[in-house]
Amino acid sequence: MNNSEIKINKAIDDLSTKLKDLDLENLSISDYNKRYLKDYIDKLSFFMPLYKTLLEKVIRNLQKPVSESCFVDYGGGCGVLTYLAVELGFKKVIYNDIYEVSTKDVKVISSAINLKVDYFITGDISDFISYITKNNIKVDHMCSFDVLEHIYDLEGWFLEIKKLPKPFSLCFMTSANSSNPNINRKLKKIHYKAEYVGSKKKKGWKERDSNLPFLEIRKRLLAKEFSNLDEKKITILAKTTRGLYGKDIINYAKKQLEENHFKEYTKHPTNTCDPLTGNWAEHIIDIKNLKNRIENKQTTVRFTNNFYSESSNKILNFPKKVINFLMKILGEQNLFLSPSYTLEIQYKES
Ligand SMILES: C[S@@+](CC[C@H](N)C(=O)[O-])C[C@H]1O[C@@H](n2cnc3c(N)ncnc32)[C@H](O)[C@@H]1O
């Protein structure tokens, strides 16, 4: 075991103890984050090895020691990666999420477990960049776990992030790995459900997320905007605007009506996003295309695989061991068998 592995293991052990001791039920946080964090606490042996893999990749991408580096948990949710980064001893730790409820909750949780988070930033990438710029913060590493597949405008996101002072690195891990055919099938089922079926509101539901089928929401938005159109035309527009949100839905519909040409906005057959927030339902990202758009002389981009985490279940561990072994042979950039992938980027000084 190398030095950073020992440190990560210790951070995981220390945080796991604190989380298990936490009186979650009596914390003054949302039901959503109570449910979310409880799920993590109940499955620590599943989630912690995933965070461990991610943090190992973070450390190998860092230009400076952990104790001199500023770490960002982008889209931090209930904050587990943030707490781990504090435990690991990063010089500064920044928590971000687009959902204000989570930012408020993580302030409460981090103080309950006695871990000092340096900055809390609510908002999307533009809010993040303006906060960082205004406060003159030097970011060394941007990290996220299961966020990439939810960001509405990926191209715009990567244009914004380039505004940070270089050098810095980025590691975004996501389980929406469509290069694995089994996962690809599951992701498409999730798209189908979001687009046509919807979901029920239950205790701990994230208030930001829509319950109605996305197609139905787009129909209602379009019917309100274009009250002169018949239902057939509205349905056509609702279908062709899949993958868009808010004003983008209306603008794309207007363009189609003006040109009298109706074509699906997205080329992907199932990808869909929440029409009220832009949050993708597990976006299947064209990673080759994304790499081509980001990579240049100063920016290196890699998509790397991750191993299956083993549990106490010996029967289930056997196939995982076999697949992990095969993945080692196939090499780090082969995503076919992988349960997830990590986007690793180095932004170098020009
Ligand atoms: C699946 S959750 C993952 C949460 C957390 N990273 C974890 O490890 O549990 C996705 C998170 O990303 C946040 N999010 C989605 N789009 C975002 C964006 N454009 N900017 C910042 N946060 C975003 C959501 O609010 C949510 O908390």
> Per-residue pLDDT tens for 230-269?
999 999 999 999 999 999 999 999 999 999 999 999 999 9
- Residue 230 alpha carbon to ligand 1 centre in Å: 38
Domain boundaries, the chain: 3-178+285-347, 181-259
State pLDDT tens for residues 112-162: 999 999 999 999 999 999 999 999 999 999 999 999 999 999 999 999 999
Q: What number is the average pLDDT over the span 5-31?
A: 97
Does the beta carbon of 75 sit less than 6 angstroms from any atom of ligand 1?
Answer: yes
- Full-model pTM: 0.96
CATH of 3-178+285-347, one of 3.90.70.10, 3.40.50.150, 3.40.190.10, 2.60.40.3670: 3.40.50.150
Question: What is the number of the ligand 1 atom nearest to the C-alpha of 36?
Answer: 9
Which residue's C-alpha comes closest to atom 15 of ligand 1?
150
Tell me whether the omega of the peptide bond preceding residue 319 falls within 30 degrees of 0, making it cis.
no
- Residue 79 alpha carbon to ligand 1 centre in Å: 10
Please give the Cα distance from 23 to 14 (Å, whole number). 16
Please give the Cα distance from 284 to 145 (Å, whole number). 16
**Residue among 299, 290, 292, 297 nearest 157 (CA):** 290
Which residue's C-alpha comes closest to atom 14 of ligand 1?
75
Neighbours of 263 (CB within 10 A): 9
For residue 309, name the pLDDT band (cuts at 50, 70, 90): confident
Using most ligand atoms within 8 A of CB, pick from 98, 161, 245, 283 the residue to mutate for ligand 1.
98
Which residue's C-alpha comes closest to atom 12 of ligand 1?
75
The residue type found at 294 is I
Beta strand ranges found along the chain (DSSP E): 70-73, 92-97, 119-122, 141-145, 168-174, 299-305, 341-347
Which residue's C-alpha comes closest to atom 4 of ligand 1?
77
16, pLDDT greater than 80: yes
For residue 315, name the pLDDT band (cuts at 50, 70, 90): confident
Which residue's C-alpha comes closest to atom 1 of ligand 1?
146
Residues 6+ apart with CB under 8 A from 204: 31, 32, 34, 35, 36
Q: What number is the average pLDDT over the span 223-229?
A: 97
Given a contact cutoff of 8 angstroms between Cβ atoms, the answer to whether 119 and 76 are in contact is no
Given a contact cutoff of 8 angstroms between Cβ atoms, the answer to whether 152 and 234 are in contact is no
Which residue's C-alpha comes closest to atom 22 of ligand 1?
75
What is the percent of the chain with per-residue pLDDT over 70, rounded to a whole number?
Answer: 100
Using most ligand atoms within 8 A of CB, pick from 30, 38, 97 the residue to mutate for ligand 1.
97
Does the beta carbon of 128 sit less than 6 angstroms from any atom of ligand 1?
Answer: no
